[in-house]
Structure 1
């Protein structure tokens, strides 16, 4: 049995993926929180390999180290003689399909081998074909192991709400399943010293901080307008200290929206937290470029990096041409972050009526979103500067 599972697993091709070869603090240039998340995942994986108790769900974006940790668990268990099956989910389903025509083993025998393996490691959960047959076979395997409390390791780049309902319910059981999330970029792609993603344009806004934001008291603004600026500033400061939910900054061009959004991002980055700051038209250009066959990165990977960002700042929503493709991509991005309640900052010069209704509906949810409307006229560089501290 053990030899058959090892042959199915192709673990000989992953023999170099062990705990000893895993960098538990990540590569140079990552932020403190990114390093901490990698170390937590590493420690959880080691603990699971020793006890084989319950299930371990490892989530993170492409290239964050999920497969390395899953293979490390599998290799450690194989070295102790534990019958272990390590498969990507697409390979698992292919293995089952091929047994329909196989002479040496029946479908029932192969299915039984898989669901009864002492340890089952499923890599790349969610990349499989979502046919009814595939979903049913996966559920049968997971449900069998759930009922019998058999150890499982699963890696995925999906959010829980994207997983089929029956399987999601099993993965949501806190008494059985340990969840770890790796907040790290693809190790194959560049990262600057602050730990920011290559897509982020935050470096272009390095001088836009809370300390350099003008309170414009020397401009004799209308009191009602000045109050909107002060309230937006305070909301931005509070969000920077503890990013929760969404912060939407609305107002005309030059009113200070971008400065406040960049100030939030710069503050978080200075504390060692990963931030993705993107101008929406530039973001859409990046996504379109990934459709090019010559692109070094797939569209799916790039989109996942953006929508799963720990803190995402979207500047200038509404300045892009709203083609059907653009509307759909923005909706997918907004909907994912809305459902997952991921911290997001949005700036827009559009009025409510000009924003796509599906996006605006998310912004109106006061349980998640704080909306600040700035009504001051465009800043011309006059007026007192706000001191760095409150």
Structure 2
């Protein structure tokens, strides 16, 4: 075999170096963009039937979903909650009913969203998966249907707003106008009594009455029953019931079986 000359070796090294630099440059170029395909222009020049046209990039779909997720105020932990990771195995029938009701609501949403009965309420036992299921609906609305959702955890939400009037007015306006409003742990009890000050009732009534009158969907979780919501404020409670009556599940029973946080707890 002929021995390679020093010149040939140098040429091979130079070629290899050029290739590595080109690959590195290409990698850095791609790293500059969220979508290397369109370079974040949401489209690119292509050809159809030999004619130069502007083609919308497929990244538009996930960009829209990302924007909606950012404005939803859903936490990073809750973004992972879906129907697929909700466990119904060996669970009581009422938990399975809640799962099936939630899935059916999501599947039927397009046909009911403008109706009076276009909302869903999961009520009763804490730790039974109410928030998980309503969050699964919310995440699927955002990611698959590109429907804007606003998440409002009742206790934390009003805790953050009670001393900031400007922020309160802005948040209430968003709660009234967003396509879908998710109210989590409405009037959550403390020491066995519902947290429901006159001020909180007044703000919730203003939001829910606006949505009721304009046929705008709500997702509601609460440890309270329909009767208990009506005991707090009958006008508010009956509106929630009327909006959610086709998709309401009340979860009651043995807490050791219903509360997933008590699984394995001693009797």
Using structure 2 for the length normalisation, give the TM-score: 0.60
Deviation at 1:207, TM superposition (A): 2.6
Candidates 59, 84, 105, aligned match of 1:239: 105
Match of 1:362 in 2: 239
Relative distance call for 1:358 and 1:329 in structure 2 (3 A) is same
Deviation at 1:361, TM superposition (A): 0.8
**More helix per residue:** 2
| 1:311 is aligned to 2:180 | yes
Relative distance call for 1:358 and 1:197 in structure 2 (3 A) is farther
Unaligned 5+ residue runs, structure 1? 1-30, 36-191, 292-296, 384-390
CA separation in 1, counterparts of 2:248 and 2:105?
A: 12
Unaligned 5+ residue runs, structure 2? 1-59, 190-194
2:62–2:143 contact (8 Å) kept in structure 1: no
CA separation in 2, counterparts of 1:267 and 1:381?
A: 28
Deviation at 1:379, TM superposition (A): 1.6
Instruction: Count matched residues.
Output: 186
CA separation in 1, counterparts of 2:226 and 2:259?
A: 20
Deviation at 1:352, TM superposition (A): 3.2
Candidates 115, 133, 157, aligned match of 1:260: 133
Relative distance call for 1:326 and 1:262 in structure 2 (3 A) is same
| 1:341 is aligned to 2:219 | no
| 1:322 is aligned to 2:191 | no
Candidates 187, 202, 207, aligned match of 2:80: 207
CA separation in 1, counterparts of 2:188 and 2:199?
A: 15
Matching of residues 210-221 of structure 1 within 5 Å: 210-217=83-90, 221=92
SS of the counterpart of 2:237?
helix
2:153–2:184 contact (8 Å) kept in structure 1: yes
SS of the counterpart of 1:237?
helix
Give the aligned CA root-mean-square deviation in angstroms.
3.0
Q: Which has the higher contact order (CA 8 A, sep 6+)?
A: 2
